[in-house]
Amino acid sequence: MIIANWKMNGSKELIKDWMDFVSQNIEINQEKECILCPPTCYLYFTGTLIKQSYEGIKLGSQHCDSVLSAPLTGGTNSQMLEDAGCEFVIIGHSEQRVHLKESNQILSDKLKSSIGMNLKPIFCIGETLRQKEANQTNDILIQQLDAIPSNLLQKCIIAYEPVWAIGTGENAEISYIEEIHSFIKEELKNKSNSTNYISVVYGGSVNLDNCKEIYSSDKVDGLLIGGASLDSNTFTKIFNIS
């Protein structure tokens, strides 16, 4: 799967133009899903376009709140996301962990709420540069994975995004990515007590120069793309060559 995470970018015009170009130029493959995660305010608009004309593109949200009903100004619950046409939701991104102080309990509640509405969580984990340099990466990833109830692991997609590589232009070496993905997959296997496969995708300054090498690894099941996904031509090239 190739996931476009637009963060706080976009407009109706940009979304329409992007979807026109991408839908006409990507090589549709049932085994490689194309997922667009626009800002929350454009979810219903994007979902309506997908239903009308763009069945090859699936809709994901960048955010959801942990409860279905609460007096929360500006809140967006999983039922609203499902109603807008979402099939996926990003949970646990480092930017929200830092700025919104999201604890494992909050993230666990978000996972339960999302899965209860048949949304597929894209659960983000990753270490900071300080943690990496202190050889704490594995411990941090284990702590973050603990937010996922073991009985819900099979319903999640894991996205490994080293915090030090998000939006910085710093790229993790393929050997490092494979090492960490192998570790994550082994932890998931032990935690779930199952041989069923759980996808682990990679994110962190993915671009045209590194996407093919990363995606070609048998340890990597997809890509979570930030800034490079905003340009429809760049995203299409990444999708087709990955």
Convert the pLDDT of each residue in 32-51 to its tens digit: 999 999 999 999 999 999 99
Joined tokens for residue 113: 């709420």
Candidate list 63, 127, 161, 181, residue with the active-site label: 161
58 touches 34 (CB < 8 A): yes
Active site residue 93: yes
- Residue 197 resides in a domain: yes
- Round to whole Å and give the CA distance between 199 and 151: 16
Output the CA torsion sign for 96, 93, 102, 113.
positive
- Residue 172 resides in a domain: yes
- Residue 237 resides in a domain: yes
CATH number at residue 133: 3.20.20.70
- Residue 14 resides in a domain: no
Is a pLDDT exceeding 80 seen at residue 194? no
Candidate list 93, 102, 127, 181, residue with the active-site label: 93
- Residue 12 resides in a domain: no
What's the number of domains the chain is made of? Answer: 1
195-238 confidence digits (pLDDT tens): 678 999 999 889 999 999 999 999 999 999 999 999 999 999 99
Supply the Cα-derived Rg of the chain in whole angstroms.
17
- Residue 48 resides in a domain: yes
Domain, as residue range, for 53: 2-6+19-67+74-241
- Residue 200 resides in a domain: yes
What pLDDT, on the 0 to 100 scale, is given for residue 140? 97
pTM to 2 decimal places = 0.94
- Residue 35 resides in a domain: yes
Active site residue 63: no
